[in-house]
């Protein structure tokens, strides 16, 4: 196998929590014999916690090393990729049997070679009904899928993980592998042997807390007692169980789906409490294990109810885990502290977030670069080198594209001078000559791979006349296609002071406004320097967010002193735009209007942004981090000196 095919790649697979519909998965399976039953329907969600691994293809062997949640590293497991051996290993039921079971399936169905999986970190609590075994099986299936470029869908990963797990003595449900969809809510249906999967798009942020009740539950007994009511009801009690896991469950799950998609946390919390009441009324009478005193004590605790919209049991129920929908982030922190102190219950957080709504980014790089003349006579200024904190030399444009991708952009358009296209295309898409690739150290080989991945997201839009930043943005109108988009200057770099990149902070602020208000990244600047930059003023809408009242391009000091002062923490200060914008597509008609009145001259973004502010409002987010200019000689020199320092 060629060296390129053996690149190391990272995987993360979360666990999953069943939010609604527990037990209806196997109940729906009984439709094999009784078609009068309702299909099962559940909603589950990938957890914030999960398993992290570095993987790569290797010759003829399955090599796995696991790290447990407490940091213990298990001895490395090695087996030849031989079907009978792997199947026998799966049946033995030891720690690595899941890996052997999935590897056997992948070998049998796809004829794969070996794989090395270093599960170097696990943050998922085990044996808490979060399907850590299913997460591990999905991890192994996906490692083969990626290492051999099989192009399998998530559904196929799920199937491989399921078949691998049931090749071991352990028994798992059919919904456990739903974690393969990642940290998003998923609705699954169960009709006999058929499974349907629908990923859901959350319409808001839900703050969940899952607490370990530290009680005991006998899952085998719960399953035994409930299964006795299937496939045909023999008594009124059986009929009540079927009703609860059938029609009632369907009603509740479909309502939950609606509330998740609408982002209604309060109503979803109330629905959780209702689901628990329905569960208790119908199922508790047939199974003592479901009396769950610890679960009910926690749900009924008056202190708890102050912080939550509602809650219910998790998994097979009993005294395993409880889940709550909290009123907000701070309420969740308070609840977790209370449950720990009062009941000794360890907790973990689970977030259901609205997916980032910005999918596209525009980066204009077609400017003349007069301030960097004569260098720009030789090469476009965005191809100037900068060294990262990791000691890697990259051209400015690569770092800007990486910033856009870090904010969630799946596609990126570079507005370029037509004569530069070949050069950009060659850099991002031209690959690396095999003889060069072989000589690169592994870290730079990975850089080469990452660069090729970036290249797949790029589109080039030519700007034939340098008619300004606003004109370059306008040229991207058709490509943007009526969606909100991220706009980045082509010659600015960013270093965030938090885990989220600077562009991501702006994109998420935009999203928090429900996509209703465009957002510009801003930073505090000295009065003596603001004549070089777009400057804003406004009223504080939140600790870090200004509702903008003015946007002025390169104001004179006097004008700024009179109109652009903002008071912050008791001081009078000034804020400038940092070159990151999350914009609604309504900016385009305003740029068009600017184009009509420009008489063939330059079209500036700032004028259109000020018009946008007047029409629908614009927010300024004080980002947490710094920016670096590379478009002016002395600032570029400063950037080169400082950017490589963490």
Kindly list the residues in this chain that would bind ligand UTP in the complex (CB under 6 A): 364-372, 415, 463, 466-469, 471-472, 489-491, 631
DSSP string for residues in 131-147: -HHHHHHHHHHHHHHHH
Residue 320 or 364: which CB sits closer to ligand UTP? 364
Least distance in Å: CB of 164 to ligand UTP? 50
Residue 341 or 597: which CB sits closer to ligand UTP? 597
**Regarding beta strands 206-212 and 347-352, do their DSSP bridges make them parallel or antiparallel, or are they unpaired?**
antiparallel
Nearest alpha-carbon partner for 257 in 110, 41, 423, 9: 41
DSSP string for residues in 330-353: HHHHHHHHHHHHHH---EEEEEE-
Residue 133 or 417: which CB sits closer to ligand UTP? 417
Q: How far is CA 484 from the centre of its chain?
A: 18
Residue 300 or 634: which CB sits closer to ligand UTP? 634
Least distance in Å: CB of 428 to ligand UTP? 17
Report the sign of the C-alpha dihedral through residues 281, 283, 287, 291, in that order: negative
Reduced 3-state DSSP string for 293-327: HHHHHHHHCHHHHHHEEEEEECCCCCCCEEEEEEC
Residue number of the CB closest to ligand UTP reads 367
Least distance in Å: CB of 380 to ligand UTP? 8
Residue 20 or 523: which CB sits closer to ligand UTP? 523
Residue 65 or 471: which CB sits closer to ligand UTP? 471
Residue 258 or 411: which CB sits closer to ligand UTP? 411
Least distance in Å: CB of 328 to ligand UTP? 39
Least distance in Å: CB of 592 to ligand UTP? 16
Distance CA 199, CA 611 (A): 38
Residue 27 or 366: which CB sits closer to ligand UTP? 366
Q: How far is CA 138 from the centre of its chain?
A: 18
Reduced 3-state DSSP string for 417-448: CHHHHHHHHHHHHCCCCHHHHHHCCHHHHHHH
Reduced 3-state DSSP string for 516-583: CCEEEEEEEECHHHHHHCEEEEEEEEECCEEEEEEEEECCCHHHHHHHCCEEECCEEEEEEEEEEEEE
Least distance in Å: CB of 608 to ligand UTP? 14
Least distance in Å: CB of 401 to ligand UTP? 12
Residue 468 or 594: which CB sits closer to ligand UTP? 468
Residue 463 or 535: which CB sits closer to ligand UTP? 463
* Pair 521, 580: CB distance under 8 Å: yes
Q: Which two tokens stand for residue 161?
A: 């993980």
Cβ burial of 28 (10 Å; 0-12, 13-18, 19+) is: buried
Least distance in Å: CB of 602 to ligand UTP? 7
Least distance in Å: CB of 373 to ligand UTP? 8
* Pair 136, 157: CB distance under 8 Å: no
Least distance in Å: CB of 453 to ligand UTP? 23
């Amino acid at each position: 196998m060629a060296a390129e095919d053996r690149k190391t790649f990272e995987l993360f697979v979360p666990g999953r929590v069943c939010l609604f519909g527990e037990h209806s998965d196997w109940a729906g399976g009984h439709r094999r014999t009784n078609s009068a039953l309702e299909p099962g329907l559940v909603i589950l969600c990938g957890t914030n916690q999960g398993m992290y691994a570095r993987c790569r293809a290797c010759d003829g062997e399955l090599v796995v090393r696991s790290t447990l949640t407490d940091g213990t590293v298990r001895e490395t497991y090695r087996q030849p990729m031989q079907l009978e051996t792997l199947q026998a290993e799966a049946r033995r039921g030891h720690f690595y049997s899941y890996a052997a079971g999935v590897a056997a399936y992948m070998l049998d169905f796809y004829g794969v070679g070996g794989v090395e999986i270093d599960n170097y970190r696990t943050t998922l609590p085990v044996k808490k009904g979060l399907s850590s075994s299913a997460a591990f099986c999905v991890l192994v299936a996906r490692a083969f899928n990626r290492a051999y470029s099989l192009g399998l869908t998530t559904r196929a990963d799920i199937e491989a993980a399921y078949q691998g797990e049931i090749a071991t003595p352990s028994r798992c449900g059919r919904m456990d592998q739903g974690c393969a969809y990642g940290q998003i809510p998923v609705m699954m249906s169960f009709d006999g042997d058929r499974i349907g999967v629908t990923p859901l798009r959350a319409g808001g942020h839900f703050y969940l807390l899952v607490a370990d009740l530290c009680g005991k539950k006998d899952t085998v007994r719960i399953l035994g007692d409930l299964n006795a009511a299937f496939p045909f009801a023999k008594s009124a009690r059986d009929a009540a169980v079927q009703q609860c896991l059938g029609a009632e469950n369907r009603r509740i799950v479909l309502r939950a789906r609606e509330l998740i998609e609408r982002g209604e946390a309060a109503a979803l919390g109330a629905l959780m409490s209702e689901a628990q009441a329905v569960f208790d009324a119908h199922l508790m009478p047939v199974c003592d294990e479901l009396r769950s005193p610890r679960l009910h004590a926690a749900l009924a605790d008056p202190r708890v109810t102050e912080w939550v919209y509602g809650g219910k049991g998790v998994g097979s129920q009993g005294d395993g885990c409880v889940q709550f929908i909290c009123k907000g982030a701070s309420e969740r922190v308070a609840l977790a502290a209370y449950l720990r102190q009062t009941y000794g219950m360890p907790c973990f957080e689970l977030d259901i977030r609205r997916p980032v709504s910005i999918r596209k980014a525009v980066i204009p790089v077609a400017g003349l670069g007069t301030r960097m003349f004569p260098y720009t006579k030789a090469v476009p200024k965005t191809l100037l080198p900068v060294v990262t904190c990791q000691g890697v030399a990259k051209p400015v444009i690569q770092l800007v594209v990486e910033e856009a991708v870090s904010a969630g952009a799946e596609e990126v358009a570079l507005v370029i001078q037509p004569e530069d296209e070949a050069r950009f295309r060659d850099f991002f898409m031209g690959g690396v000559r095999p003889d060069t690739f072989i000589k690169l150290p592994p870290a730079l080989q990975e850089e080469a791979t990452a660069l090729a991945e970036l290249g797949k997201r790029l589109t080039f839009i030519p700007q034939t006349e340098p008619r300004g930043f606003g004109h370059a943005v306008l040229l991207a109108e058709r490509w943007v296609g009526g969606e909100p988009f991220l706009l980045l200057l082509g010659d600015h770099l960013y270093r965030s002071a938090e885990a989220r990149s600077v562009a991501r902070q702006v994109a998420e602020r935009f999203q928090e406004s429900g996509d209703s208000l465009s957002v510009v990244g801003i930073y505090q600047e000295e009065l003596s320097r603001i004549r070089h930059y777009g400057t804003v003023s406004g009223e504080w809408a939140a600790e870090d967010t200004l509702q903008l009242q003015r946007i002025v391009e390169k104001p004179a000091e006097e004008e700024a002193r009179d109109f652009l002062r903002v008071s912050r923490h008791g001081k009078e200060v000034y804020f400038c735009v940092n070159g990151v914008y999350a914009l609604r597509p309504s900016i385009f008609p305003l740029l068009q209007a600017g184009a009509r009145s420009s008489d063939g001259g330059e079209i500036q973004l700032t004028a259109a942004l000020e018009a946008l502010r007047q029409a629908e409002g614009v927010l300024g987010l004080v980002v947490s981090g710094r920016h670096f200019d590379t478009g002016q000689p002395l600032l570029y020199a400063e950037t080169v000196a400082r950017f490589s320092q963490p």
